[in-house]
Amino acid sequence: MSKVLISDKISESCIKIFQENNINVDYRPGLSHSDLLNIISKYNGLAIRSSTKVTSEILEKASNLSIIGRAGIGTDNIDKKAATEKGVIVMNTPFGNAVTTAEHTIAMMMSLVRMIPLADKSTKEGKWEKSKFNGVEVTNKVLGIIGCGNIGQIVASRAIGLKMKVLAYDPFLNEKKAQDSGIEKADLEEVLKKSDILTLHTPLTDDTKNIISADAINKMKKGARIINCARGGLVDEGACRVALETGHIAGAAFDVFTEEPAEKNILFDAPNFIATPHLGASTKEAQENVSIQIAEQMSDFLNSGAVINALNFPNLTSEEAPILKPYINLSYLLGSFLGQVTYEGIKKVNLEMEGKAAILKDEPILANLLVGILETSSEVVNGVNSRDIALSRGINFSTIKHERRCDYETLLTITLEHEKGIRTMSGTLIGGYMPRIVSIQGIPIESDFPKSALYLRNYDKPGFIGDLGKMLGENRINIASFHLGRREKGGEAIALIEIDGNITKTTLDEVKKLPQVVRVNSVYFK
- Model-level pTM? 0.71
Instruction: Quick: pLDDT tens for 415-466.
Output: 999 998 999 999 999 998 899 999 999 999 999 999 999 999 888 888 888 8
> What is the percentage of the chain residues whose pLDDT exceeds 70?
98
- Whether pLDDT at 198 is above 70: yes
Write down the pLDDT at residue 384: 62
What CATH code is assigned to 3-95+285-304?
3.40.50.720
Cα separation, 8 vs 70, in Å, equals 10
Q: How confident is the model at residue 317 (pLDDT cuts 50, 70, 90)?
A: low
E-assigned strands of 276-409? 346-355, 396-402
Q: How confident is the model at residue 370 (pLDDT cuts 50, 70, 90)?
A: very high
- Whether pLDDT at 6 is above 70: yes
Q: How confident is the model at residue 315 (pLDDT cuts 50, 70, 90)?
A: low
Domain segments of the chain: what residues?
A: 3-95+285-304, 98-275, 314-440, 451-526
The predicted model gives 507-514 an average pLDDT of 88
Cα separation, 240 vs 213, in Å, equals 8
Lowest mean pLDDT among 11-20, 190-199, 217-226, 501-510: 501-510
Instruction: Tell me if residue 104 is catalytic.
Output: no
Class of domain 98-275: alpha beta
Instruction: Quick: pLDDT tens for 330-357.
Output: 999 999 999 999 988 899 999 999 999 9
E-assigned strands of 99-188? 142-146, 165-169, 184-185
Instruction: Quick: pLDDT tens for 134-186.
Output: 999 999 999 999 999 889 999 999 999 999 999 999 988 888 889 999 999 99
What CATH code is assigned to 451-526?
3.30.70.260
Q: How confident is the model at residue 319 (pLDDT cuts 50, 70, 90)?
A: low
Return the amino acid letter for 164. M
Q: What is the number of other CB atoms lying within 10 angstroms of the CB of residue 309?
A: 21
- Whether pLDDT at 95 is above 90: no
**β 224-228/197-200 pair status:** parallel
Instruction: Kindly state which CATH superfamily the domain 314-440 is placed in.
Output: D-3-phosphoglycerate dehydrogenase; domain 3 (3.30.1330.90)
The predicted model gives 113-121 an average pLDDT of 94
Write down the pLDDT at residue 478: 92
**Domains 3-95+285-304 and 451-526 alike in fold:** no
Q: Tell me the helix, strand and coil percentages in the chain, rounded to 5.
A: 35, 25, 40
Write down the pLDDT at residue 75: 86
Which of the following is catalytic: 260, 446, 492, 510? 260
CB 373, CB 349: distance < 8 Å:
yes
Tell me which residue of 43, 60, 55 sits closest to 6, measured CA to CA: 43
Burial class (CB in 10 A: 0-12, 13-18, 19+), 370: buried
- Whether pLDDT at 314 is above 90: no
Instruction: Tell me if residue 137 is catalytic.
Output: no
Of 504 and 334, the structure prediction assigns the larger pLDDT to 334
Omega before 271 cis (within 30°)? Answer: no
Cα separation, 44 vs 28, in Å, equals 15
Find the helix packing angle between 284-304 and 12-20, rounded to 10°: 20
- Whether pLDDT at 327 is above 80: yes
- Whether pLDDT at 235 is above 90: yes
- Whether pLDDT at 321 is above 80: no
Q: Could you tell me the CA-to-CA distances from 185 to 1, 192, 329, 386, 408 in Å, in that order?
A: 52, 13, 33, 22, 41
Cα separation, 55 vs 372, in Å, equals 25
Cα separation, 302 vs 313, in Å, equals 15
Cα separation, 98 vs 398, in Å, equals 27
Contacts of 427-435 with C-beta under 8 Å, sequence gap 24+, read 427/330, 427/333, 427/334, 428/330, 429/326, 429/327, 429/330, 432/326, 433/326, 435/326, 435/329, 435/330, 435/333
**β 346-355/396-402 pair status:** parallel
Q: Could you tell me the CA-to-CA distances from 22 to 6, 18, 40, 362, 478 in Å, in that order?
A: 16, 7, 20, 34, 58
Write down the pLDDT at residue 307: 82
CB 469, CB 451: distance < 8 Å:
no
Residues 6 or more apart in contact with residue 68 via CB below 8 angstroms: 45, 46, 47, 48, 54, 78, 83, 88, 89, 90, 91
Cα separation, 443 vs 492, in Å, equals 9
Tell me which residue of 351, 357, 354, 367 sits closest to 327, measured CA to CA: 357
Write down the pLDDT at residue 380: 63
Cα separation, 385 vs 467, in Å, equals 45
- Whether pLDDT at 225 is above 90: yes
Which of the following is catalytic: 201, 231, 393, 423? 231
> What is the percentage of the chain residues whose pLDDT exceeds 90?
65
Instruction: Tell me if residue 278 is catalytic.
Output: yes
Which of the following is catalytic: 278, 423, 457, 483? 278
Instruction: Quick: pLDDT tens for 42-86.
Output: 999 999 998 899 999 999 999 999 999 999 888 889 998 888 778
